Structure formats: C-alpha cells, structure tokens
C-alpha cells in the first residue's frame, strides 16, 4: 500500500497587510494560499509504489481529513477541493476582501523523515519555522502549541466527541441451553441435587439399620436384590433425581413418611424448574442474542472483543495517553501494551478501524462520515456512533506564526 502526503502550502504576501489601525477595512486585496494537509492512500499492491503521479491518482484513494477538506485530482490534472474548508475560506475572503489559491506539492522521503508521518506535527513545524504562513486545517489550541512560536485565531467551529464502535455481534449459541437460568440458579440447583441425593441415601441407610435391629420382614422384600452400602444408595438415587429433573420419570421405594416428604418436595421443585426451563429454552435457542453494546469509555474498557485506537497527535489522544487514573488510564495502558493501536498516520488508523475490531474517538462529523463511507463501501452497516462522550468539547482555530498581523483581522471577522 503506497502512501503519499499531499500538502497545500500557504504563501502570504506580507506587503499587503493593513496596519492595525485599518483592521476594520479588511485585508485590502491581499492574496492568500491556504495550507491544507491530506494523506492519500492508494488501494493497490506494492508494485504500484513507483508509478507516476497521474497513475497514482487514477487509483482509489482516501483523503486524510474528510469531510472537512477533500482533494481529488481530475483527469485533466487539475484538482477539485471541496468540504467545509473551502466554504469558510471563501466566506473569509469575501469578509476581509482578499483572494486565495492553492499550490500542491508531494514531499519526498527526506521530508517525511524530517517531519514524521503526523500531518499535524508537520503543519505546526512548517508554521513555527516560518516555512509557511498559516495552516488552514483547524487545530485545537493547547499550552504546548501556543508556546511553540504559534498564534491561534478565534475558534472556527466547536464540536462534541463521540466514538466509532462496531455494531454488537451475536453471541454464540453453543451454550444457549444454559441461558434460561442465571449462574446462581444453576449453582443452587446443583447444590440442591447433591443435598437431596445425600438425604435420601442417609434415610435409606438409617431405615436399613433400624430394620436389621428389629429383624423386620421388610428387609428381605425391599433390599434382598440390591447392595445396601451408602455409596450404592447414592448412585441409585442420583439416577432417579436426574431422571426427574430431565422430565424422564422414574420410581423409588417409598416406605417411611419422612422419606415421602423428602421425595414429594423434590418432585414439586423439579416440576416448577422443568416447566420454567422448557418454556423459555426454545426462545434462547432460536432468537439471536447480541453482545452488550459499547456506548462509553467504561463499556469499551470492559469489552474483551473491542480494543481502542488512539491518534497520539490529537488532543483527545494526548489526554487519554496522559491519564493517570480512571478508565482513561485503563484504555491508555491497553494501547501501550499493543503499540500497533497507537497511530500518527490517519490513513493507517482508518484501515485498522475498518476491520471492525476497534473503537476510535473523534468529532461527531468525522464519525458520521466514516460510518457512511463504510456503509457505501460494504453495502451493510457495520459501525455505529455512540452518544457524546464525557469529554471536554473541542474548539478548532487557524494556526499562524507568532506576532503576525493577520490574526487580529481574522478574529475581527469571526467576532463581527
């Protein structure tokens, strides 16, 4: 699978900027080229890694930052750029009276080795090093980012976080026959069977001892054809009890009144249990039972089948990995034990998420886009979006160089 980084570099003609005293007059015809970062993932074999640019774009690809910024190359070699990014850029250009365009570059291996796979880190480094003037993709301002020679505009948009999780699978039906009763009921039933068998065996043994002392004629008629040890009594009565509980029927010599009370009580209990079980076991065997759904971080931490994916350069990923206690620390430890669940490359993360064995937390717009994309691709719905997470709302801003003149103009445009 080949991987390329598509960068739209922003160039700013500084001599167009108005002074702070003329801020309300817009940008007076300045020309901006916005920086928007994309990763393009070709769904092809390794033999296509060295094909030409035109051939590469003729394959299917997935943009890194959809649905906010999507870039597609047309057959004539030009690019189609759509999404929410061009919408607010167009609005801002009209608001502040400037023009903008895009320039496209494909960084080589040396550039990727220098800046790494993270497009967010690449964006921040290019702006901080004064190699570009701004990053058009929205980023969340953090104390660490603000201290890195960067300015953040007033936020462009705000959005809640949710999780993409696989739809619950059906539980295996191999042991469906035990579902009508809870484990506690089965345990109590097992204890009751043992107690009944032992009680019946002890009653019979005591009766046998009493009959021997009294030289009773019942001794020959009832026990002459069977062994009279306690073990043999228990074996015989165990078969009887199991026959009753499985609704097979059976008989046993009932002589004393106390013995009749014991056997009668067991028959009554067995009748209720058998009728209750047989009335519900059919539904458990025929109706599918789904595994518990995942809707919170706690549910995800308790799941044995679904793991977490973390993008370590996103704010939510940074905070999960930095957690020192609670469920977030549990999830972070799980990811650290499996380093292949921590990513910087969004396209690789998307490919892993599409396997249906992981959950990923990000903004709701992205969650809806990913789920709809997978539905269109597979023809069936395999994922769902959870309710909003108990996580602080994200505020996304444009990133500029420190102490530049444009940030104040951008902020005025947003506020007014």
Torsion of CA 306, 365, 368, 291, to 10 degrees: 30
Most confident of 155-159, 363-367, 410-414: 363-367
Sorted by sequence, the CB contacts under 8 Å of residue 308 that are 6+ apart come out as 300, 320, 331, 334, 335, 341, 358, 359, 360, 361
* pLDDT band, very low/low/confident/very high, at 254 (cuts 50, 70, 90): low
Identify each DSSP E strand in 318-382 by its residue range: 342-343, 358-363
H or E segment to which residue 166 belongs: strand 161-166
Q: Is the dihedral of CA 169, 174, 180, 182 positive or negative?
A: negative
Q: Which domains does the chain have, with CATH numbers?
A: 3-139+399-415 (no CATH), 176-286 (no CATH), 297-385 (3.40.190)
252 neighbors 263 (Cβ within 8 angstroms): yes
Q: What angle do CA 329, 334, 335 make, to 5 degrees?
A: 100
Instruction: Report the pLDDT value the prediction gives residue 335, as an integer from 0 to 100.
Output: 93
* pLDDT band, very low/low/confident/very high, at 101 (cuts 50, 70, 90): low
Q: What is the mean pLDDT of residues 192-199?
A: 88
| pLDDT for 123 beyond 90 | no
How far is 382 from 125, CA to CA, in rounded Å? Answer: 37
How far is 216 from 218, CA to CA, in rounded Å? Answer: 5
Could you give the percent of the chain with pLDDT greater than 70?
A: 74
How far is 411 from 326, CA to CA, in rounded Å? Answer: 38
From residue 35, how far is each of 56, 156, 260, 329 by CA, in Å? 22, 15, 90, 35
Identify each DSSP E strand in 215-373 by its residue range: 307-311, 342-343, 358-363
How far is 397 from 158, CA to CA, in rounded Å? Answer: 9
How far is 81 from 302, CA to CA, in rounded Å? Answer: 42
From residue 93, how far is each of 16, 23, 86, 402, 413 by CA, in Å? 14, 14, 10, 22, 10
How far is 335 from 358, CA to CA, in rounded Å? Answer: 11
Instruction: Report the pLDDT value the prediction gives residue 404, as an integer from 0 to 100.
Output: 75
The total of other beta-carbon atoms located within 10 Å of residue 278's CB is: 11
Instruction: Report the pLDDT value the prediction gives residue 41, as an integer from 0 to 100.
Output: 36
Q: What is the mean pLDDT of residues 159-165?
A: 93
Higher pLDDT, 251 or 153: 153
* 296-338 per-position pLDDT tens digit: 999 999 998 899 999 988 889 999 999 998 999 999 999 999 9
| 3-class state of residue 133 by DSSP | coil
Q: What is the mean pLDDT of residues 258-278?
A: 83
Q: Please report which residue ranges of 117-168 form alpha helices under DSSP H.
A: 119-128, 143-146
| pLDDT for 262 beyond 60 | yes
Q: Could you say which DSSP state residue 150 is in?
A: E
**Radius of gyration, alpha carbons of the chain:** 36
b/e sequence 162-197, b meaning 16+ C-beta within 10 Å: bbbbbebeeeeeeebeeebbeeeeeeebeebbeebb
How far is 68 from 73, CA to CA, in rounded Å? Answer: 17
Strand partners, 73: 79
Q: Summarize the chain as % helix, strand, coil (round to 5).
A: 50, 15, 35
197 token code pair: 């068998």
* 225-236 per-position pLDDT tens digit: 455 677 777 888
* pLDDT band, very low/low/confident/very high, at 399 (cuts 50, 70, 90): confident
266 neighbors 194 (Cβ within 8 angstroms): no
Full-prediction pTM beyond 0.75? no
Q: Give the rounded distance of the alpha carbon of 155 from its chain centre.
A: 28
**End-to-end Cα separation, the chain, in angstroms:** 47
How far is 278 from 83, CA to CA, in rounded Å? Answer: 58
Mode of pairing for the β-strands spanning 358-363 and 307-311:
parallel
Instruction: Report the pLDDT value the prediction gives residue 175, as an integer from 0 to 100.
Output: 77
Assess whether the previous peptide bond of 67 is cis (omega < 30° from 0). Answer: yes
| pLDDT for 27 beyond 90 | no
Q: Could you say which DSSP state residue 27 is in?
A: T
How far is 279 from 283, CA to CA, in rounded Å? Answer: 8
Most confident of 176-185, 260-269, 276-285, 297-306: 297-306
Higher pLDDT, 10 or 328: 328
Q: Write the Ramachandran bin of 51: left for phi over 0, alpha for psi from -120 to 50, otherwise beta.
A: beta
* 37-61 per-position pLDDT tens digit: 444 333 223 332 322 223 322 222 2
| pLDDT for 362 beyond 80 | yes
Higher pLDDT, 218 or 99: 99
| pLDDT for 203 beyond 50 | yes
């Amino acid at each position: 699978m080949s991987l390329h980084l598509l960068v739209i570099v922003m160039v700013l003609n500084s001599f167009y900027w108005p002074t702070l005293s003329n801020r309300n007059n817009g940008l007076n015809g300045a020309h901006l080229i916005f920086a928007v970062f994309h990763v393009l993932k070709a769904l092809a074999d390794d033999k296509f890694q060295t094909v030409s640019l035109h051939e590469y774009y003729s394959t299917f690809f997935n943009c890194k930052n959809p649905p906010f910024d999507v870039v597609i190359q047309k057959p004539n070699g030009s690019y189609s750029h759509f999404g929410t990014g061009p919408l607010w850029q167009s609005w801002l250009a009209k608001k502040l009276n400037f023009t903008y365009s895009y320039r496209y570059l494909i960084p080589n291996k040396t550039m990727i080795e220098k800046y790494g796979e993270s497009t967010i880190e690449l964006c921040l480094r290019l702006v901080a090093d004064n190699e570009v003037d701004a990053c058009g993709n929205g980023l969340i301002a953090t104390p660490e980012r603000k201290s890195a020679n960067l300015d953040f505009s007033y936020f462009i948009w705000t959005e809640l976080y949710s999780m993409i999780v696989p739809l619950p699978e059906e539980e295996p039906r191999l042991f469906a026959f035990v579902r009508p009763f809870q484990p506690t009921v089965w345990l109590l039933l097992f204890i009751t069977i043992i107690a009944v068998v032992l009680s019946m065996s002890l009653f019979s043994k005591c009766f046998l001892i009493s009959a021997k002392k009294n030289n009773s004629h019942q001794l020959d008629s009832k026990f002459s054809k069977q062994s009279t040890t306690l073990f043999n009594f228990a074996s015989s009565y165990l078969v009887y009890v199991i026959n009753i509980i499985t609704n097979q029927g059976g008989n046993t010599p009932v002589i004393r009144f106390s013995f009749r009370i014991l056997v009668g009580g067991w028959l009554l209990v067995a009748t209720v249990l058998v009728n209750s079980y047989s009335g519900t076991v059919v539904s458990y065997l025929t109706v599918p039972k789904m595994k518990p759904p995942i809707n919170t971080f706690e549910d995800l931490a308790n799941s044995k089948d679904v793991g977490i994916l973390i993008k370590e350069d996103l704010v939510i990923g940074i905070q999960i990995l930095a957690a020192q206690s609670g469920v977030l620390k549990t999830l972070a430890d799980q990811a650290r034990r499996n380093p292949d669940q921590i990513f910087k490359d969004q396209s690789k993360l998307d490919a892993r998420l599409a396997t249906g064995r992981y959950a990923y937390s990000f903004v709701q717009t992205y969650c809806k886009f990913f789920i709809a994309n997978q539905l269109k691709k597979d023809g069936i719905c395999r994922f769902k979006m959870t309710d909003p997470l108990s996580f602080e709302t994200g505020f996304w801003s444009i990133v500029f160089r420190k102490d530049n003149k444009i940030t104040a103009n951008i902020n005025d445009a947003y506020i007014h």
